[in-house]
């Protein structure tokens, strides 16, 4: 497979830096071709702004979505955005690797999503009708591709358990897994989370690599999360609520996983 690893950590000698190097080597040993977008090393520009639409009318108000649509349709996107979109088209699988910062991804990675996920590329695609609400949540440009998060945390696994004070990790990662990955069509693997990283040292590091290595070995074959497809009949359109008879009496993010 072609694998794109998007890496967001400012320090090459960090744990995340070491895990990135391990992942690249492991994937290559398995016969995959790997590209890395090392966002800090690339000095990735995080804020989405008018400079992303090359040659736009400077007198017109900047509109984040509409300028994105025009730039994408007319080949006037900033070159760094177009290059990342090419990598996504090339990839069969995408890994987003990052430390959990304030219960989410580092801002530089969020800025990668904001800018690379252009209107007409990652959203605003497909038929809109009373049967089909755009190609999203299981359909779209990333259909047929796999995606997986590799996340490190300071908090312990129990802090992120079903009754942990930080909230369940699946809920915290839902906006990324469901909103950023499943939305444009990726098949999403369960995340690989490395907890309590302050305890990682030379004695525990081999087990960390072993666990990550097994997940990388399953990148092409492991079962993906059974998110319900938006246009697959489980949701009433246009309300986009689960239909009666499905997960009745249940609420929360888990209802979007098919049993």
| Binding residues vs ligand FAD (CB under 6 A) | 9, 14-16, 18, 99-103, 152-155, 197-198, 200-202, 205
Q: Which CB, 16 or 231, lies closer to ligand FAD?
A: 16
- Smallest distance, Å, CB 155 to ligand FAD? 3
H or E segment to which residue 21 belongs = helix 15-29
How is residue 76 written in tokens? 């006037």
- Residues 6+ positions from 228 with CB-CB distance below 8 Å: 137, 138, 234, 235, 242, 256, 257, 258
Phi, psi (deg, nearest 5) at residue 165: -65, -30
Shortest CA distance to 91 belongs to which of 40, 19, 141, 18? 141
By CB atoms closer than 10 A (0-12, 13-18, 19+), residue 104 is middle
Shortest CA distance to 160 belongs to which of 150, 149, 172? 172
Pairing of strands 93-99, 33-38: unpaired
Q: Which CB, 85 or 97, lies closer to ligand FAD?
A: 97
How is residue 81 written in tokens? 């955005």
- Smallest distance, Å, CB 10 to ligand FAD? 9
Rounded to an integer, what distance in angstroms lies between the CA atom of residue 27 and that of residue 17? 16
- Smallest distance, Å, CB 107 to ligand FAD? 9
- Smallest distance, Å, CB 11 to ligand FAD? 6
Shortest CA distance to 176 belongs to which of 231, 78, 106? 106
Rounded to an integer, what distance in angstroms lies between the CA atom of residue 179 and that of residue 176? 5
What DSSP character marks residue 257?
A: B
- Residues 6+ positions from 160 with CB-CB distance below 8 Å: 153, 166, 167, 168, 169, 172, 193, 195
């Amino acid at each position: 497979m072609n694998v794109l690893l998007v890496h967001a950590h400012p320090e090459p000698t960090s744990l995340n830096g070491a895990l990135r190097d391990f992942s690249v080597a492991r994937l290559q040993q398995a016969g995959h071709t790997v590209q890395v977008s090392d966002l800090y090393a690339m000095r990735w520009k995080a804020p989405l702004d008018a400079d992303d639409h090359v040659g736009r009318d400077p007198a017109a108000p900047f509109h984040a979505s509409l300028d994105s649509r025009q730039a994408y349709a007319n080949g006037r996107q900033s070159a760094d955005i177009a290059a990342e979109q090419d990598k996504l088209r090339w990839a069969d699988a995408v890994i987003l690797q990052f430390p959990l910062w304030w219960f989410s991804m580092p801002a530089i990675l969020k800025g990668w999503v904001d800018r690379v996920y252009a209107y007409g590329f990652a959203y605003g695609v497909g038929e809109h009708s009373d049967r089909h609400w755009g190609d999203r949540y299981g359909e779209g440009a990333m259909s047929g591709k796999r995606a997986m998060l590799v996340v490190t945390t300071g908090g312990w696994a129990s802090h992120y358990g079903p009754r942990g004070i930080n909230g369940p990790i699946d809920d915290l990662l839902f906006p990324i897994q469901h909103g950023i990955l499943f939305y444009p069509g990726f098949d999403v693997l369960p995340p690989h989370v490395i907890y309590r990283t302050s305890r990682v040292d030379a004695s525990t590091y081999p087990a960390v690599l072993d666990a990550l290595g097994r997940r990388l070995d399953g990148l092409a074959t492991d079962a993906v999360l059974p998110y319900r497809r938006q246009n697959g009949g489980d949701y009433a359109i246009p309300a986009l609520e689960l239909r009666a008879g499905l997960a009745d009496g249940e609420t929360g993010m888990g209802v979007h996983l098919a049993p």
